[in-house]
Structure 1
């Protein structure tokens, strides 16, 4: 068992390459998220990598994998035939020989699809620390071409360097493939004018699956999917868990912006929330909540300095929520500005009795909103 530090896997695998190791390498990478570990297996033949994945596949599993990658509709029938004709049911090469004779595909096809998987698998381990265990006595006979070669190590390292640069270009908007995308549409998917994006957001963005999880289930390159998500993030359709404070108006914040006061906007209208973020993004950082429960969670977990609160909400109305907040000692002095479509003296009185600092009737003009906020929470303007 070998231990390697963060970003040191390349050096460890390079040593196996230099030693012309043949066998299998089992890797456990520590992701640093609640002791989460990513386990992968890598096959070597004379110092060259020939396979990488979650587990070592059987010949039939490998056949199915290649068939799916090449989108071969006849693969299932070919596998049944290969099972009957092969003399060695444990040999991947024996199965491949039958597929070649059937003219389903050639070595170039197999190398191409498997190289993509090898690079993606290594990319999932490259930046982490972890442990590595080697085992030579493993019956896994995959190698490529008539000469039985593996992938060129230098070319693999170059591809991985390029991918690391690709991930860096997505940061800090998307910190890693393990980041979890969350929809900020609050169920109002009809506001998305891209049909594919609308369907994807409905099905896949659940606040639990990481970018990598989604990419694997869709059989897509996570880096390619990351670039698509970056566009969607700029459209204010998604945000990544734990990264709300890294953005103002959907764009990465600068070092200067990180010190801006933090405002919580509580409103169940996506249209209103979008308007508020656009109005405030040059002066403040803004978190949003669609109901009282989410708002209370954000108040307890973030250094909120002012709250914009809608009176009419689906669960607990703004006046009752304001009373609840004021009943918590650490929020007694929190500036609370109520925004509501309701006008009239009674509502204003109710708001004041509940503990609101100020009361504004929607639609409120940008200048008026900024003026009221500034009176309660002075903030310097950020030059962009």
Structure 2
């Protein structure tokens, strides 16, 4: 039978009565999520999540011991048994295993007591197998009190480490506005600038939970949740219920087609990157035309976007040089320019360009220009 109460008060009452068993705490804000705490009076035997064990273990272990290769979690039934089996295959002292188990349990204990009130169920005389640690749970909690306060704060926006973050396509514009506002701020330098705008948009579209997201960007789950809580509160991001992850594909994903953009304008580079990365392309951004040949030979693109007005080497001269390169002479080239005169188009055609795009251009114009040339890499002549 479930009762609704404060998890922290429930743990204190169980400890005062010197009861042994498992207390399961169901997260009222995140459907399908919850925490299980194994107790023996004042002692903590183990604590974990009741869903998303793979995501949780991967996130914590990869930060706790990045030097170790953790085995596949496989069909995970019992975390303590899996940890013992892993330890038995390693040349590590027992004390190190206990440190890992303590950190894992401590993190789950933080999540459990950060919930102000939740449905709970206590089952007597249930213990993990094996019992690897027996520290007083209050001592473990005292060492991470600030983390409890941090999670209580982000829970005000309905976030937990098992919340799935999602950016609806209708909110992409709002996220781009947020991105522009934080440019040059400490928050951008320390966190958001670690990934490109298009990469953030892609990841938010995958409905990753906070644990998974934190592993991708190599930060603690609490830091990630703290950074995004304002976006969730504003409705830019949505916090979705936790659900079982989609099974991995049987075959590894194919490499993304490469598109090169040679333009000294960071604004143009950002527009090209954001537009084409969302379409599944890998963008090679080149802002120094003098280095273009070396870079393009090393990462041969399917299409080259080439600005006309650049310092040192203009686009016409560089296009002529590309057409003289044995490795790059057949790669389609789209000239980018602010001029739309007939003479400019003829000159672009004479140096070997395949297409011509006038700035400013809409995202769909850029996408269509690239898609039109990809199937015909040896196309001749100028298209509009």
Query: How high is the TM-score relative to the length of structure 2?
Result: 0.41
TM-score, normalised to structure 1, is: 0.41
Larger relative contact order (C-alpha < 8 A, sep ≥ 6)? 2
